[in-house]
Structure 1
Amino acid sequence: MSFIDTPGLLPAFVAEVRARAHGAGLDLYEYDRVTAGLGALDEWPEAFGGVGRRYVAEAEGAAAEGRTVTAGAAYRCAARWFHAGCLMPHPDRAAAAWLAGEADEAMRRSLALLEPEARRVEGEGFAGWLRRPVVGGAAPVVLVVPGMDSSKEEFHALVEALLARGVAVLAMDGPGQGVLAATSAPEPDYHRVVGRALDALGAHEGLDLTRTAVIGLSLGGYYAAKAAAHEPRLCAAVTVSGPYRLDWEALVPFVTETLIQRCGSVEAARAFADRLDLTAPAPTITLPLLVVEGGEDRIPGVVNATVLAEHAPNAELLLVPHGNHLLGTALPDWLPATADWLATRLS
């Protein structure tokens, strides 16, 4: 039996994703209306994609009338909803690829209207948007790295918080993520991807690449920690709800099915999970490291990165007792402080 066919799972899944939807910027009243109309989990992608299409239509209508701000905001809402349609291991991978592509395109159209100075940055194994703050001089840069089933279209609030503090942001998809999920598998040596992204940023003006950092969320937290251990150009790193180690046998079906789909087979997924272990690199992470964790983040088979804070020599732990995975239940308790921490380390 596949994950989405589990009897009685729909209400629990809707409730579990609700905080994540809030963190991603979806209107929760609209989320409740959309999910209340679902008869089964396999309807999820089409329902969320339908909302995305409606926002695109609204954006196109507003743009045709010269209402640029409204159009740009509607395109951004569309990007969020298209992305949210991918937040489950649905067997129709073509539909998931379409949603990811629509999210990417909606964000492109939003930036073209609201931030025409934003630039596409892409290369081997990554694609993202470089956005600059409205300040003079060369800006430091933070790379925002998504997780297992996430993408660059999810973490709008984090990106906006960094931009407001004078930091440029490259929100990126890497192998097996977002718009690249249909053509690549997750990469445990993600530090190589971060290195190529930093190389690509050298072609863009207005950046101070002597001041760079990375923040990774969920599985992206592991990627950020690996980059912190191996990429000497980084000055600081943050992990948010990142894993320290995975135990394949204990992982819940949502995680295993998602990894199997994105890695291509059970064997590849298990091999990927077995390589996710920060025990060896943790003591070598000597740059400033902030580990953000929620006290309610408990996923079977996942050893949380609180352990990383104990073994990395220059690490700080920000533990929010009532925070869940990705801390969508506690945004005011970690996001402003984390953005301040990064801006300070890069000042």
Structure 2
Amino acid sequence: MSRDPQVDLVLVHMTPRYVATGVDPNDLQRLAQRIERWDDWCRVWSEEGARHAELAVEAAKGGRQVTAAEANLRASIYFHYAKHLFAHDPDQYLAAHRRMLACYQAGAAGADPPVERISIPFESTAMVGNLRRPTRAARPPIAILLPGLDACKEELHAWSDAFVRRGLATLALDGPGQGETAFELPITAQWGKVIGAVIDVLERRTDVDGRNVAVVGQSLGALYAPLAAAFEPRIKACVSNCGPFDFGPVLPTMPHASQETFRVRSHARTLAEAHEIARGLTLQGVAQRIECPLLVVFGAGDKLIPAAEGERLARAASGPTEFVVFEEGNHVCFNISYKFRPLTADWTAEQLRAKPKSP
């Protein structure tokens, strides 16, 4: 029996992302061999996640807390990828989502530096973020990290590492339509208000410098970040990594699983309604309001979002702007994470004048 083409399509697009964010390449090879039908995707990934969660339990019983934390964080990313494009099956999605959160929280305290889960009041509910602070930094500047359409704050752990090592605190955020907040709040274009609410919380803290904040986004989050910078003047710098300038024309060209994920996370009843919501996600007539320093990063080989979208943003913004295109880069440049992560973290640290962590 030939394999479901949906499985091959996702693996072709996503394999560099899986490896860059913590999936062991050998595990991935075995997973790819086991999954024949798209309906098996979540189950097989969840079984692999459970195997790593059990390794964490065994390590903890032996008093090996570092090993336990590493295994739990690894299990978390496997459960995340079990459900990240599986919105059509709410029961399996929710089960994998809950295991992802549980494993991440189990590993969070043993991470270096540790992770603090914080709540940000917004509208009638709250958003959730994972805060990390570099050790021995009294009040570091902070980068707010925004995931993309099918990502979540837990996926950004490896990217957070790059910022923390350069003296920045990070807040990986599940905003409206993202991660666990998506169950309560749909996708929105009001990212100035979203990040404004986050900064309000950060400014009240004494362990980070809430008046020295950058916003950093990838994929659809790389549209949200400049939307925030256009309307929230307290943002000191902005990074947009492979984001659309005008999402309305882009969404219909994306794989069906991505379109269905957008439908679910926008709380739309139909794809037609989702496409209408997508047309409201645009920087047209807005980007010129961006006056803070802006870094736009793209991969020329991006098959999901054309690099021309980044060029439109770089040309339209009013403040100092850098536009970097990696010729070999794919979507989010996951296939060259050793280039995009240092670039985005170094640039942000320079804008916020962070002090790098001592070796």
Q: Please give the range of the TM-score, normalised by the shorter of the 2 chains.
A: over 0.9
Match of 2:103 among 99, 102, 106: 106
> How far did 1:185 drift?
1.6
Structure 1 residues 280, 24: closer, same or farther in 2, change over 3 A? same
Provide the C-alpha distance between the structure 1 equivalents of 2:161 and 2:8, rounded to a whole number of angstroms.
32
1:143-154 matches, within 5 Å, as 143-154=144-155
* C-alpha contact (below 8 Å) 1:140/1:167 kept by paired residues: yes
Match of 1:263 among 257, 261, 266: 266
Letter in 1 for 2:16: A
Letter in 1 for 2:316: H
> How far did 1:86 drift?
2.0
Q: Which residue of 2 aligns with 1:317?
A: 323
> How far did 1:184 drift?
3.0
> How far did 1:281 drift?
1.1
* C-alpha contact (below 8 Å) 1:245/1:302 kept by paired residues: no
Query: 2:217 aligns to what SS in structure 1?
Result: strand
Provide the C-alpha distance between the structure 2 equivalents of 1:20 and 1:270, rounded to a whole number of angstroms.
26
> How far did 1:116 drift?
7.9
* C-alpha contact (below 8 Å) 1:143/1:213 kept by paired residues: yes
Q: Which runs of 5+ in 1 are unaligned?
A: 1-5
1:119-138 matches, within 5 Å, as 119-123=116-120, 124=122, 125-138=126-139
Q: Deviations over 1:168-195 (max 9, x none)?
A: 0101111221122333321221222211
Q: Which residue of 2 aligns with 1:201?
A: 202
Provide the C-alpha distance between the structure 2 equivalents of 1:17 and 1:86, rounded to a whole number of angstroms.
13
Is 1:295 the equivalent of 2:295?
Answer: no
Q: Which residue of 1 aligns with 2:309?
A: 304
Q: Which runs of 5+ in 2 are unaligned?
A: 354-359
Deviates most, 199-208 or 123-132: 199-208
Q: Which residue of 1 aligns with 2:340?
A: 334
> How far did 1:32 drift?
1.2
* C-alpha contact (below 8 Å) 2:252/2:275 kept by paired residues: no
| Number of aligned residues | 342
* C-alpha contact (below 8 Å) 1:101/1:179 kept by paired residues: no
Q: Which residue of 1 aligns with 2:213?
A: 212
Q: Which residue of 2 aligns with 1:22?
A: 19
> How far did 1:160 drift?
0.3
Deviates most, 269-278 or 243-252: 243-252
1:32-47 matches, within 5 Å, as 32-47=29-44
> How far did 1:9 drift?
2.8
> How far did 1:119 drift?
2.0
* C-alpha contact (below 8 Å) 1:23/1:155 kept by paired residues: no
Provide the C-alpha distance between the structure 2 equivalents of 1:115 and 1:23, rounded to a whole number of angstroms.
18
Q: Which residue of 2 aligns with 1:3?
A: none
Letter in 1 for 2:29: D
Provide the C-alpha distance between the structure 1 equivalents of 2:27 and 2:113, rounded to a whole number of angstroms.
29
> How far did 1:252 drift?
4.0
Query: 1:329 aligns to what SS in structure 2?
Result: helix
> How far did 1:268 drift?
3.7
Query: 1:279 aligns to what SS in structure 2?
Result: coil
Q: Which residue of 2 aligns with 1:73?
A: 70
Query: 2:109 aligns to what SS in structure 1?
Result: helix
* C-alpha contact (below 8 Å) 1:211/1:235 kept by paired residues: yes
Match of 1:60 among 57, 60, 73: 57
Query: 2:279 aligns to what SS in structure 1?
Result: helix
1:219-230 matches, within 5 Å, as 219-230=220-231
Letter in 2 for 1:70: T
Letter in 1 for 2:119: E
Provide the C-alpha distance between the structure 2 equivalents of 1:283 and 1:304, rounded to a whole number of angstroms.
15
TM-score, normalised relative to structure 1: 0.93
Structure 1 residues 157, 117: closer, same or farther in 2, change over 3 A? closer
Provide the C-alpha distance between the structure 2 equivalents of 1:146 and 1:303, rounded to a whole number of angstroms.
21
Provide the C-alpha distance between the structure 2 equivalents of 1:250 and 1:18, rounded to a whole number of angstroms.
20
* Cα RMSD for the two superposed structures: 2.0
Deviates most, 102-111 or 113-122: 113-122
Query: 1:155 aligns to what SS in structure 2?
Result: helix
Provide the C-alpha distance between the structure 2 equivalents of 1:230 and 1:7, rounded to a whole number of angstroms.
44
Q: Which residue of 2 aligns with 1:91?
A: 88
Structure 1 residues 182, 215: closer, same or farther in 2, change over 3 A? same
Letter in 2 for 1:147: G
Letter in 2 for 1:182: F
Letter in 2 for 1:336: P
